[in-house]
Amino acid sequence: MKYYSLHHSSPVVDFKEAALRGQAPDKGLYFPSYIPTLSKQWLTDFPKLSKADIGFAVIQPYIGNTMPDDVLYQIIKETIDFHFPLIPISATISSLELFHGPTLAFKDVGARFMSRCLGYFANNQNGKTTVLVATSGDTGGAVANGFLGVEGVEVIILYPSGKVSAVQELQLTTCGHNISALEVSGSFDDCQALVKQAFMDIDLQRKYTLTSANSINVARWLPQQLYYFFALQAWADEKPPVIAVPSGNFGNLCAGLLAFKSGLPVKHFIAACNINDTVPAYLQTGQYTPKPAVPTISNAMDVAEPSNFVRIMEIFQQQVGNIKRYVSGYTIDDDTTKRTIASVHENYGYILDPHGAVAFYALELFLADHVGEKGFILETAHPVKFPETVEKIIGKKIPIPSAVAPLFEKQKKSISIPANFEVLKELLMNRD
């Protein structure tokens, strides 16, 4: 498998180089030269397979010969070593719970896979790789946990001050060792812009071997396909599901669409957004007009210019009409999100986090217009990550999972910087 830049002016590379670079030299995102097609027989048989076998079959074509098959199999086995339950909520909507990993967020899959790939590649080359990543919430904690202690790799995380939850902040600022956190006075888009500028800076390129752990990196993005397969493994209905994906930077939805193009049976996808509605507006009007990001209670989706939407455009030949055949966009405001958390808890006894609530309401709207269909949401984070919001709505405390409790005994450690690239560059250039 080769990867080309979506800016189309950089050489094609293999998976190893795409993962180590993160972004192509022409600043485009890497995209696979083709989307593998799974055989009809395999798609019939895969519900009976182990999750590791499913993962290997789906991912191996994207890896090619950049690592031995036995190494890849072990990486996948370690990556998905937790549960992915599909839990019924109502008669027509289920929840694919993706928060049973070590940091209680869906991003554990991509971060664990990428960290193990980079660890393998680092052991087979000289020098240190520096992972520079921006987070709007869960990416930071997942990356910090995934890369903690990985030899030959250091991680620098940029996060927006005051715009991540207390648990999210503790997860990315209390690791130490090879993990550093920079607290930026600004939005996630500011953090992402700083990271992009760093990748373009010649001086930093000379000092560091830089790569990104955001979903722009193929090693973070590609394994997110797997839990769509795990969900279909547990899907009991004869008709394919409608899947509502809480969408911020659009890597998760894009991975689902990749799985669909490989043959996974899905009826329709929903891009469930908060009021940062660049993509839903585009699907409605055909005009792509990003606006400054607005803070919401579903903070991980507070993204004005989703990086991965260019990949979705590539999947559908740059045609908005092609996208609209398979993807619908919905915009859900905070008041509706709060009402949804309250009503789902009252009616079904299920506790949604704010991101899952956005997806749930969007899926309800879609199903109301498509009688007879059923679907599931991606519940991307445990509600304990948003206690101030969720507990106030449902009127009771959320039990603290054992994976989170020790965080509250740790000391936050971060470096505060303005949303100014020259300040970031000086800090990075002066690091040992």
The two three-digit tokens of residue 30, written as one number? 């890497």
Q: What would you measure as the largest C-alpha separation in the chain, in angstroms? A: 61
Q: Which residue has tokens 């800090």? A: 427
**CA angle 373-326-15, nearest 5°?**
125
Q: Whole-angstrom Cα distance, residue 87 to residue 278?
A: 30
The two three-digit tokens of residue 282, written as one number? 């585009």
Backbone angles phi, psi at 105, to 5 degrees: -150, 155
107 is catalytic: yes
Q: What is the chain's length?
A: 432
Question: DSSP string of 121-158?
Answer: HHTTSSS-EEEEEE-SSHHHHHHHHHHTT-TTEEEEEE
- For residue 353, give the nearest of 99, 88, 108 by alpha carbon: 99
Q: Whole-angstrom Cα distance, residue 147 to residue 420?
A: 26
Q: Whole-angstrom Cα distance, residue 154 to residue 149?
A: 9
SS3 content of the chain, % helix, strand, coil (to 5): 45, 15, 40
Q: Which residue has tokens 């405390």? A: 397
**Active-site position among 16, 51, 107, 385:** 107
Q: Whole-angstrom Cα distance, residue 49 to residue 55?
A: 10
Q: Whole-angstrom Cα distance, residue 90 to residue 109?
A: 27
Bridge partner list, 31? 4
Q: Whole-angstrom Cα distance, residue 332 to residue 338?
A: 10
**CB neighbour burial string for 245-265, b if at least 16 within 10 angstroms, e if fewer:** bbbbbbbbbbbbbbbbebebe
Q: Whole-angstrom Cα distance, residue 146 to residue 166?
A: 20
What DSSP character marks residue 376? E
Question: CA–CA distance from 393 to each of 351, 377, 388 (Å)?
Answer: 10, 20, 9
Which residues, including other chains, have CB under 8 Å from residue 194's CB and lie 6 or more apart?
Answer: 134, 158, 184, 419, 421, 424
The two three-digit tokens of residue 391, written as one number? 């507990």
Backbone angles phi, psi at 420, to 5 degrees: -135, 120
Catalytic residues: 107
